[in-house]
Structure 1
Amino acid sequence: MELEYGAHLYYGPPLEEGGFFQDSNLPGGRTISDMDYDRIECLFKRVCEEAQPFERLVVTYDEAVRLFSYNKYKLDIIKEKVPIDGTTVVYRCGYAVDLCRGPHIPNTSYVKAFKLVMNSASYWKGDVKKDMMQRVYGMSFPKMSQMEEWSEMRRRAQESDHRVIGKHQELFMFHDDSPGACFFLPRGVVIYHRMEEFIRREYRKRGFCEVITPNVYSVNLWRRSGHWDNYKDCMFPLRFDDQDWALKPMNCPVHCLMFANKPRSYRDLPIRIADFGALHRNELSGALTGLTRVRRFQQDDAHIFCLQEHIESEVLKALDFVDYVYSVFGFKVQFELSTMPEKHLGSLETWEKAEAALRRALVLKHGDNWKVNPGDGAFYGPKIDGHLTDALNRSHQCPTIQLDFQLPQRFDLRVARPDDTFDQPIIIHRAIFGSFERFFAILVEHNAGKWPFWLSPRQCIVMSVSAKSADYASDVQKKIYEAGYECELDVSMHLLKKKIRDAQVSQFNFIAVVGSVEQEKNTVSLRFRDTPETKEMKVDELISYFNSLRDNYK
């Protein structure tokens, strides 16, 4: 590609979920489109047929600078990563030479299948003020059969894409007048609220107190928390009353203000604060992807203020919470413990105690069925992340449990002991869904738009056999709707067969058909979405049946 297109290559890593991407800058501001895919794939096929070997070369700093003198992007990497008196590794393949740690396959003939799947724009170093890059995503396999399996999985993923289903089921929309912010439509709001109500009920059982907090804060708060120095490019700044303000991107500093609002005793702890407030983060426009990456979102966010001796029991409760919630939604979660990074706050002793508490909680809850990510903790404390696998065998990191020693220091949070001394509490950052929007997207794709009854925005539809039973159908629909269920009405003049088919395609959980016979008996002929059976029921019996399903999270 570099030789054929005159491109200056920048960065091209493999991806955890499979495949790779490659960033490059093309001369004259040229862009890549899907019209280029065939040509690039033909070039790749030719290279593979030639069985070009990969040759590993070790070069000095000066040699690397001379070798890549034509490419400012590679020079920047060299100057940033390679010591002046050191060496680095490059790989040669045919006419191409590139920086890479390796290792590589022996030669290009090992690749039997290759396909470009997507392209997009990006920025050099992710900075919108720097050069725009062209990014292409691709997949490669050592066997054609693996490519075929992947293609079938990709086809299924495209069919269940949350953006496609969301449009078809009228769940949400986006608009250029508010980029990166989702407009939830009435049916989508039903699901969103059910998710929130479910978590809220669990909060009451588990000792969390819900708060409501403002959206706009003085920049002084974010300076104090450290976010302004390290995170301001991802925030939305505002200017009014001759002061600088910003929309909140997270809740933790705000909850620190609430904790510090009055004196606290060690007897008060743990204190568990939950917040469903809106958050805003200034994601790059090129990174916005449906509901999975947005600028305005909501979290099932909570912060637990506790002492060192509470960590193990609180983390154990959080793990139990995660397991329960994800079992309801049909997911299994794999946990990873991320330990102290090279750059960190707090003493080694504090970190060791905290990590030991997390390990004990994981062992008590999950035995040895978890992993360790050495050195991957946040600078403010170790953490546990949960990864779930969806129906298409894709992994998603959603729940997180993080210990924080930094914010209590920055906000001078204190807890009085009986001997008139003070302890500094530890904060446990805890989210179950994480972002509601992202988890909503995962649910759409996991279920392929086939919602369980308790979540469904289309729980039932009442349809008339003919115009003679339209008024009765309307009465039945109204009664079911007023009982608290999402029930719609179809009294159109279409044939019954078409109306039933349309309702099935729309994934109604139940179809209640009424005609003159049902009208005389005050019944409905109930059809089930997931089974071929039909059942005649009195309307009151139907509502009682729905009541029995209301809290059945299956």
Structure 2
Amino acid sequence: MIIRNIGIRRCTRRLLSTNIRDESSTNTNHAISNKQLLYTTDAASPGSIFFLPHGTRILNKLIQFMKNQQIKYGFQEVVTPLIFKTKLWKKSGHWDNYKDDMFKVVGFDMSKEEIPHESIEEHEYGLKPMNCPSHCMIFAKFDRSYNELPVRYSDFSSLHRNEASGALSGLTRVRRFHQDDGHIFCNVSHIDQEIKNTLDLIKNTYGVFGINEVEYYLSTRPDKYIGEIATWDEAETQLKKVLDASTETGSWQIREGDGAFYGPKIDVLLTDAFDKKHQVGTIQLDFQLPKRFDLKYVAEDGSRNNQPILIHRAVFGSLERFFAILLDHYQGKWPFWINPRQAVIIPINESHIEKAEELQRKLCGDIINSQDEISPLTGFNFHVDVDKRAATVGHRTKEAIQSGYSYIILIGDKDIANGTFSIRSRDDRKVSNLTGEEIYHKFIDLERSYQ
């Protein structure tokens, strides 16, 4: 009894410590967000994030970054519906194994349905908690050949999961979120390379953000699962083999019974600035959904009943959660390439405002500076503001640093006479004198090198 009580006290201390870390992380995120106007929430939609303009800039940068990486690895982006009929979720197995974490949707006016007298099942829908069934549907719509494999789909659609209201926490535990979701339809011979590619992408992506402490876990068959045990054993063996062979994962651990209901998975965990672990990336091997959706492809020998294997994978995982990790990681001091406030121009007095706005147009790029009626699709376009308030230069500079601008550019009489601008970073008082063209190319170099 004494030992048990000590254990309880230790457990209680751990739980309290975890809650304190969670609360500290959430409070820090809120404080930075409120200061930089990144996101907000509202009781009208609990567990859903309202990204404000500057937060949306960061979110869009993360998405565009990952879209470019997906292209490099052969993914094709698709856009899929938000709701599906209950019968689809029953077919995929989610209704029996995941419905408690789903949102059910039913129209109020049944007369709007094609056949209003049909059973309620025909009019009952579920908000999608993941994209895999819809990607299986796309694969099944067309005749497939072995020489098309692997087929790789990516999807950034919003997802909904009915988390308990008491578990909701800032950006890290939400009900509506976005995921850099990807699904690979392949055969057995492709598995090793596809998983290795994903592990490479995970390591390289996190490295861009200066995150190098990454943990890998193999999550095995849970108590509630679909399919045959022999199939599960085969899938777990495949994942163990790849983990052992990969130099990216180093030593890895097993989490018994923590796999998805349809297959084992590799989970990737990061530790935030408060020593709290977050699951981000995941790689899941699935023999079940292809079988349930009767997916087939024609093999090299002409046989038609060949079932592909499905690999689920994400690198960021929940973009909202990864956003929170970056908030902790950078403490609001965003690298230039992802910063929603990349530079501010401070004219010394009113006579310098015109030159300041001219430079702003140049640095903001073709979208603002275009002489055409329609702005171009591509180009380097930076987030640059002009602070033309009547406050002193020192006060405006101090506020710019506090607001998180990467660079402060000053314009005075001497700068205009020399055809240059005085530029300094937020972390270094050293001032350089550069032309507008030199500043623009400096910014291009910073963005290209993810600095």
Deviation at 1:453, TM superposition (A): 0.7
Change beyond 3 A, Cα 1:249–1:345: closer
1:396 Cα offset (Å): 1.4
Q: 1:358 to 1:216 in 2, by over 3 A?
A: same
Unaligned runs of 5+ in 2: 108-112, 117-122, 367-380
1:395 is displaced (CA, Å) by 1.8
Residue 330 of structure 2 aligns to which amino acid in structure 1?
N
Aligned-pair Cα RMSD in Å: 2.5
Q: Could you tell me how far apart the structure 2 residues matched to 1:429 and 1:440 are? A: 22
- Per the TM alignment, residue 474 of structure 1 is displaced from its structure 2 partner at its CA by 2.1
Aligned-pair identity in percent equals 41
- Aligned to 1:415, the other structure's residue is in SS state coil
Partners of 2:63 and 2:85 in 1: CA distance: 29
Change in 2 beyond 3 A, CA 1:172/1:157 = closer
User: Per-residue deviation at 1:348?
Assistant: 4.6
AA partner of residue 291 (structure 2)? Q
Spell out, residue by residue over 1:304-353, the C-alpha distance to the aligned partner (whole angstroms, 9 max, x if none): 11122221111111111111111111112111112344554444543343
* Counterpart contact for 2:26–2:170, Cα < 8 Å: no
Matched residue type, 2:52:
L
Tell me, in whole angstroms, the C-alpha distance in 2 between the residues paired with 1:229 and 1:342.
14
Q: Which residue of 2 aligns with 1:96?
A: none
Residue matched to 1:313: 193
Decide whether the 8 Å contact of 2:22 with 2:276 is kept in 1.
no
Q: Give the secondary structure class of the aligned counterpart of 1:316.
A: helix
Kept after mapping to 2: 8 A contact 1:392/1:446: no
SS in 1 for 2:352: helix
1:138 lines up with 2:16 in the alignment: yes
Q: Does 1:486 align with 2:387?
A: no
* Map 1:201-212 → 2, pairs under 5 A: 201-212=68-79
| d(CA) in 2 for partners of 1:504, 1:259 | 50
Structure 1 residues 520-529 or 505-514, which shifts more?
A: 520-529
Aligned equivalent of 1:334: 215
Alignment correspondent of 1:404: 286
Give the direction of change, closer, same or farther, for the CA distance of 1:328–1:181 in structure 2 (3 Å limit).
Answer: same
Q: Give the one of 334, 338, 353 matched to 1:451.
A: 334
1:462 and 1:514 in contact (8 A); partners too? yes
Deviates most, 358-367 or 270-279? 358-367
What is the alpha-carbon distance in structure 2 between the residues aligned to residue 304 and residue 535 of structure 1? 49
SS in structure 1 at match of 2:130: coil
Matched, 1:513 2:413: no
* Equivalent residue, structure 2, for 1:416: 298
Match among 305, 310, 329 for residue 427 of structure 1: 310
Listed as ranges, the matches of 1:95-114 within 5 Å are: 104=7
Matched, 1:442 2:325: yes
Which ranges of structure 1 fall in alignment gaps of 5 or more residues? 1-53, 57-90, 94-102, 117-136, 141-149
Q: Which has the higher contact order (CA 8 A, sep 6+)?
A: 2
- Deviating more after overlay: 460-469 vs 333-342: 333-342
What's the counterpart of residue 194 of structure 1?
Answer: 61
Tell me if 1:383 matches 2:265.
yes
Shift in Å, 1:406: 1.5
Letter of the 2:267 counterpart:
D
The letter of the residue matching 2:336 is: F
Counterpart for residue 357 of structure 2:
474
**What is aligned with 1:227?**
94
Cα shift at 1:115:
8.0
For residues 361 and 223 of structure 2, the distance between their equivalents in structure 1, rounded to whole angstroms, comes to: 63
* Paired AA for residue 389 in structure 1: T
Cα 1:205–1:115, aligned 2, differ >3 Å: closer, same or farther? closer
CA deviation vs aligned residue, 1:232-287 (integer Å, no higher than 9, x gap): 23222222324112221210111111010012122221111100111122222222
Aligned equivalents of 2:216 and 2:382: distance in 1? 37
TM-score normalised by structure 2 residue count: 0.87
| CA gap 1:154/1:232 in 2 versus in 1, 3 angstroms | closer
Q: Go from structure 1 to structure 2 and tell me whether the alpha carbon gap of 1:349 and 1:437 turns closer, same or farther (over 3 Å shift).
A: same
Partner of 2:84: 217
Counterpart-to-counterpart distance in 1, 2:226 and 2:13: 45
Task: Kindly provide the CA deviation profile for residues 89-147 of structure 1, in whole angstroms up to 9, marking residues without a partner as x.
Answer: xx5x6xxxxxxxxx738xx8xx8xx989xxxxxxxxxxxxxxxxxxxx6249xxxxxxx
Counterpart pick for 2:255 among 347, 354, 373: 373
Q: Which amino acid aligns with 1:489?
A: V
**Cα distance 1:423–1:290, how it changes in 2: closer, same or farther (>3 A)?**
same
The Cα of 1:532 is off from its aligned counterpart by: 2.6
State the one-letter code of the partner of 1:491: K
- 1:434-466: per-residue Cα shift (whole Å, max 9, x none)? 111111111111110110011000100000112
Q: Give the TM-score normalised by the residue count of structure 1.
A: 0.71
Q: Which residue of 2 aligns with 1:358?
A: 239
Instruction: Tell me the number of residue pairs that the alignment of Structure 1 and Structure 2 aligns.
Output: 420
- The residue type paired with residue 301 of structure 1 is D
1:1-80 alignment, distance < 5 Å: 54-55=1-2
SS at match of 1:550: helix
Partner of 2:145: 265
Give the distance between the partners of 1:154 and 1:305, measured in 2 at CA: 37
Greater share of strand residues, 1 or 2?
A: 1
DSSP 3-state at the match of 1:434: coil
1:462 equivalent in structure 2:
345
Residue 244 of structure 1: aligned partner: 124
Counterpart residue identity of residue 337, structure 1: L
Whether the 8 Å CA contact 1:414–1:423 is kept in 2: the answer is: yes
